[in-house]
Every structure is written in C-alpha cells, then in structure tokens.
A and B are shown apart, each in its own frame.
Chain A
Amino acid sequence: MSTETTMETSASNLWGLANPTRFMGFADRAVPILAVLTVFLFAAGLYISMIAPEDYQQGHTVKIMFIHVPAAWLAMMTYSVMSVSAIGSIVWRHPLADVSLRTAAPLGAVFTFLALATGSLWGKPMWGTWWEWDARMTSVLILLIIYLGLIALSKAFDEPSEAAQPLAVMTLTGIVILPIIKFSVDWWNTLHQPASISRFDTPAMPSEFYIPLLIMAAAYIGLFFTLHLMSMRNEILSRRIRSMKMKSARSKGTA
C-alpha cells in the first residue's frame, strides 16, 4: 500500500470517528484496553517511586515530585487538548469537538488542583511555606480559575449546543496562560525551580529519578485519555437522553 493511500485511509478512519455512533463503538473498545494499561503503569510507577533513593538536597520528599510534576504537565496538556477541540468546534462546528472540549475541562481542573496541592505539600518542608505568590504558582492558580470558569460557562446554557461557540472562544482566549506558565521561571525571578526535564537526552536529574517520573507521567496520560473517552461517552449519552425526552414530549403534544 502506498504512503498516500495509507494517509488517506488514516484520515478517513479519523473522520469516521467524528460520527458519534462510531465514536461510541471505538470508545467501548478502547476504554478497557487503556484502563488496563493505566493500572499497570500506575502500579509500576508507584513501585519504582517508592524504592527511589533519597535526593541529596530534597531527601525523601523527592517522591512528591513523581506525582506533582506529571500533574502539572497534565494540567497544561489537558488545556492543549481543549484548545485543539475549540478550533474543531469553531472551524468545523463539529458537535464531537464541543463534547471533547467540555468533558476535558473538569479533568484539567482536577490535575491543576493536584499540581497545586502536591506542590504545596512539597513546598512546606522544602521552602518552609505552603504558598508563595510566585509567578509559576500564581499562573497555575490562574489556570485553575480558568478551568472553573469554563466549567461554569459550559453549564450556563440550557441547550448544550448554544454553549459550544462561547466556550470555544473563551478556551482559545485563555490559551495565553500556557506560555506564561511554561516560561514564568525564565521570565521572572521565581522561588519555583526551572523545568524538571527540558531535554530528554540530557535530563537535569539522574535516571533513578527521571525513570519513575516518566513512568508516572505515562500513567497520568493513560488515565487522562481513559477518563476523557469515558466522559465523552457520558456526554453523548446525555445528549441522546435529552433528544429522546424532547421527542417523547413532542409526540405527547401532538397526540
């Protein structure tokens, strides 16, 4: 099969998933596989995290990094997924893009909350403070507020399709927070340390630390995609229920 034909097939498969019925079939098959993979990655990541040696500066609190850093990465990755969905919602006005956008927001809020909570639990023994109005921490707090605002906006309309465009526009407006979070440690003099891994070929930490970190990050990514597919499936079912109720009410009205 030529490269062109393979690309065309992949593209048609991808567009095929844009059909909610086909998407439900895909989600029903993918969720159990992703769930098993995620559980395996969490088990392996937890084991390796627990047996990791002490850091010469942080001592055992380095173990908090294995859950804090992936939570912070996922907080930003989820917003990136939402932004891509927002583009799909604005450009193609596809309902599945809107479903993806509104179901990712609560997951992003959970990961952002975890990044802040675990960061605070690490900061107290290491910096001597639970919280500092430092550029990195403040910008992540703003990300949490953006997530909460988007969740509120998505629930502010009776008809979900009416919320699609305002939600997509607001999501794309909020994307400005991602470079601010990423580069806050370079642009401002912050208490927060620079990026944990900026280059995979020469990481700023020994393999005893970055291997558990990467396995936990893979587990978090697996969990995100599992929960996102499950939430999207729930949202599609909600819309089906709504449409069935409206049809039933209409038929009662005409009878």
Chain B
Amino acid sequence: MFGEHAAFILSSYAITFVALGVTTLVIMRNYRAKKAEIRVLEEKRKKQK
C-alpha cells in the first residue's frame, strides 16, 4: 500500500497526527482547568460576601 518508502510516509502521518492531537488535548485541558479555577474563585467570592 505504501511501497518501499512506507517508513517515511507513516512517520510523517504519525508526526502530524501526534502534534495536532497533543495541541488539541493541551487546549482542551487548559479550558477545563480554567473553568474549574473560575468556579473555585466564584465560590470563594460568594463566601466572602
């Protein structure tokens, strides 16, 4: 399916999907972490009031 240069073809697809996948996961994890931090800060503020 990939001929004699299969290692080069598969490596380039692997690098691409790992890099894009990791970038997506990091951004998603940051979003969850920030949402959780905002919830904690809002709860603290309510308690202070």
Contacts and interface: CB of A to CB of B under 8 A. Distances in A.
Interface of A: 50, 54, 59-61, 63-64, 67-68, 71, 106-107, 110, 113-114, 117-118, 121-122, 124-125, 223, 227, 230-231, 233-234, 237-238, 240-241, 244-245, 248, 251
Interface in B1-49: 1-6, 8-9, 11-13, 15-16, 19-20, 23-24, 27-28, 30-31, 34-35, 37-38, 41-42, 44-45, 48
Interface of B: 1-6, 8-9, 11-13, 15-16, 19-20, 23-24, 27-28, 30-31, 34-35, 37-38, 41-42, 44-45, 48
B48 to A, nearest CB: 7
6 contacts: A54-B3, A59-B4, A60-B9, A122-B12, A125-B5, A241-B38
Contacts of A125: 5, 8
Contact of B45 (A230, A241, A244): A244
A68 B34 CA distance: 34
The listed residue with most A CB atoms (<10 A of its CB), out of B8, B11, B23, is: B8
Given A64-B12, A114-B15, A240 B3 contact: no
B48 A251 contact: yes
- Tell me the dominant secondary structure on chain B's binding face: helix
Contacts of A237: 31, 34-35, 38
Nearest to A120: B12
Given A114-B16, A118-B16, A122-B12, 13 more contacts: A50-B1, A59-B5, A61-B8, A67-B12, A110-B23, A113-B19, A121-B15, A223-B24, A231-B27, A234-B34, A237-B38, A241-B34, A244-B38
